[in-house]
């Protein structure tokens, strides 16, 4: 089983940065011991009262507390393959998608050799990049020279790009990175089947932002995209397991902040 990407301390650190709060300030607002909060964030000691801290940071208390609990990832439909690639001591996702004989790869991890080994000689007809951080595009450096099409969202027409049995649509997702993009695949009935979000969202969490302005931008752009998707739409993340719109509406620690 692929674990969730973020732990409760990860989420709290991201929320502190997103609200431009130092731990000591958040502890004061929550009425908890600042040294205990700092120790927990450093991986030492017991968790502070997370429900109280969550309310100060605009997080969902129940979702924050349950981040380390067991979960059931969704069963992805045929044609979607998650490729988990090494990234130092961490991992990062690429996604291989097939539809009616057409294929595409979303992101490529940090290392061309690792990506090539996973693909086993297969080459997609199209590459999509969610954002240009090195852990997502480094693996693509040896590709794109043999007839494949390498795209980001700015290259996709506003009315979509035909792919397989449906259409690909691009949506801007700035925040984690100013050039972040999400991709939505709609079937012949115009129903959204999946959306690839890069690091804009993880199961139970979201990508870190450099400051409060970027965090608010991330929340607004992510909320706008989720609003156009049906509850059962599969969400393909940049790290960790895939999830669904319904699961994240109910169980993402940052969900209250999406209403910024």
DSSP 224-250: HHHHTS-TT-EEEESSS--EEHHHHHH
- As a whole number of Å, the end-to-end CA separation of the chain is 33
One digit per residue, the tens of pLDDT, for the chain of length 260 reads 567 899 999 999 999 999 999 999 999 999 999 999 999 999 998 999 999 999 999 999 999 999 988 788 899 999 999 999 999 999 999 999 999 999 999 999 999 999 999 999 899 999 999 999 999 999 988 775 555 677 889 999 999 999 999 999 999 999 999 999 999 999 999 999 999 999 999 999 999 999 999 999 999 999 999 999 999 999 999 999 999 999 999 999 999 999 75
pLDDT of residue 69: 84
pLDDT of residue 45: 87
User: For the whole model, what pTM was predicted?
Assistant: 0.95
CATH code of the domain made up of 8-65: 1.10.260
Q: In the chain, at which residue ranges do the beta strands (DSSP E only) sit?
A: 80-87, 90-99, 102-106, 126-128, 149-151, 161-163, 166-172, 181-186, 192-198, 234-237, 243-244
Q: 8-65 and 80-259 share one CATH topology?
A: no
pLDDT of residue 161: 96
Helices (H), 130-244: 134-137, 212-227
Enumerate residues 6+ apart whose C-beta is below 8 A from 43.
Answer: 9
Q: Where are the domains of the chain?
A: 8-65, 80-259
**Contact between residue 11 and residue 253 where contact means Cβ atoms under 8 Å apart:** yes
pLDDT of residue 150: 76
- CATH superfamily for domain 80-259: Ribonuclease Z/Hydroxyacylglutathione hydrolase-like (3.60.15.10)
């Amino acid at each position: 089983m692929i674990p969730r990407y973020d732990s409760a301390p990860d989420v709290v650190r991201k929320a502190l940065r997103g609200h431009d709060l130092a731990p000591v300030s958040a502890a004061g607002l929550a009425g908890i011991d600042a040294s205990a909060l700092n120790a927990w964030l450093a991986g030492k000691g017991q968790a502070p009262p997370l429900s109280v801290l969550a309310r100060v940071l605009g997080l969902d208390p129940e979702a924050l507390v349950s981040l380390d609990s067991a979960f059931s990832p969704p069963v992805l439909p045929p044609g979607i393959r998650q490729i988990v690639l090494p990234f130092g001591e961490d991992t990062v996702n690429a996604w291989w998608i097939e539809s009616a004989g057409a294929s595409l790869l979303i992101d490529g991890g940090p290392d061309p050799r690792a990506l090539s080994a996973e693909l086993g000689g297969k080459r997609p007809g199209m590459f999509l990049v969610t954002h240009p951080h090195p852990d997502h595009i480094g693996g693509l450096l040896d590709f794109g020279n043999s007839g494949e099409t390498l795209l980001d969202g700015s290259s996709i027409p506003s009315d979509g790009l035909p792919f397989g049995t449906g259409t690909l649509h691009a949506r801007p997702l700035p925040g984690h990175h100013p050039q972040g993009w999400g991709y939505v695949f709609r079937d012949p009935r115009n129903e959204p089947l999946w959306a690839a979000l890069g690091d804009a969202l993880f199961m139970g969490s979201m990508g870190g932002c450099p400051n409060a302005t970027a965090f608010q931008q991330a929340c607004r752009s992510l909320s706008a995209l989720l609003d156009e998707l049906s509850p059962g739409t599969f969400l393909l993340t940049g790290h960790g397991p895939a999830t669904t719109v319904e699961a994240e509406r109910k169980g993402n620690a940052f969900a209250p902040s999406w209403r910024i």
